[in-house]
Amino acid sequence: MPYIDTPRGQFFYREQAGSDPILLFLHGNLATSRWWEPVLRRLPHGWRGVAYDALGYGASDPSEELTRFSVPARLRDLIAVIEALGLKRLHLIAHSTATPVAIEYALLAPETAVTLTLIGPVPFANAQTPEEAYPLLEQLAGDRGMIEQALRASAPHLDETEVDFETLVGDVAALPPLALPAIARGLDAWRAGDRTRGLTMPVMLVRGEDDIMIEEQQAYQTLLAIPGAGQLELLHGAGHSPMLETPAGLTELLIAFITEDWEEFASIRQHVE
């Protein structure tokens, strides 16, 4: 099993071997790198795909420290993984609660993040978690019935020929009890603000047609806040987790986006800067 040793801890990762282009995948709060397997195995020959388990998740180092689940902490983890793998130019793909981490990295290192794909992105405004939801988040990891309901809501069209549902449930059940509320607190503290104007690299937004977690209007507001975002791609037959529901369709979108001729974005970047 492949691991990355970094000053931040040891990370487990899954990889589709290749050289160029390089795609780095970040998972959300109910997920692990396992969620990206259906996409990794569909990448074209020669493309390199890497997906790692965040600290506290899957086979990466466990963590009980609440501060390790904040957006700044997860950004430092991402930087450590990129440096340990020696990645110089990459296409960053993030899902759900990982999208703020990807945005912060793209703002910090636009020379490394060639493109940015945000799937079911956290809204830039009015994204606060209601206080009454926190007791439920604290209970979730220890309640398999609640986990099953949460996963079915996230992936209502789950293709169980692609990934075993019970394995997904087990991954969530293994989380530290306070991981999910800690991530929610971290998202509550995150503010994108006007800094999103710095996202002048090509950006693709993806939303599942049946996503009950991110409203269509919220997705369009995110689209309008990012200069490099060309359009919002809507995936039919998918909810909040298209990598588990329509992996072929999602992979096709990624391939088309990454292989597009993006020379015009150089002039856009220059104009914004």
Q: What pLDDT is recorded for position 219?
A: 82
Q: What average pLDDT score do residues 56-65 get?
A: 90
Q: What pLDDT is recorded for position 23?
A: 98
DSSP three-state, residue 239: coil
Q: State the chain's mean pLDDT as an integer.
A: 90
Site of tokens 């503290």: 189
Phi, psi dihedral angles at 253 (to 5 degrees): -60, -45
**Confidence at 66, pLDDT banded by 50, 70, 90:** confident
Question: Quick check: pTM over 0.85?
Answer: yes
The total of structural domains in the chain comes to: 1
57: domain CATH number is: 3.40.50.1820
Q: Any idea what the Cα angle at residue 93 is, between residues 88 and 99, rounded to 5°?
A: 110
* Whether 56 contacts 68, CB under 8 Å: yes
Task: Tell which residue, 28, 41, 149, has the closest CA to residue 93.
Answer: 28
Q: What pLDDT is recorded for position 194?
A: 82
**Structural domain boundaries enclosing 178:** 3-272
Q: What pLDDT is recorded for position 105?
A: 97
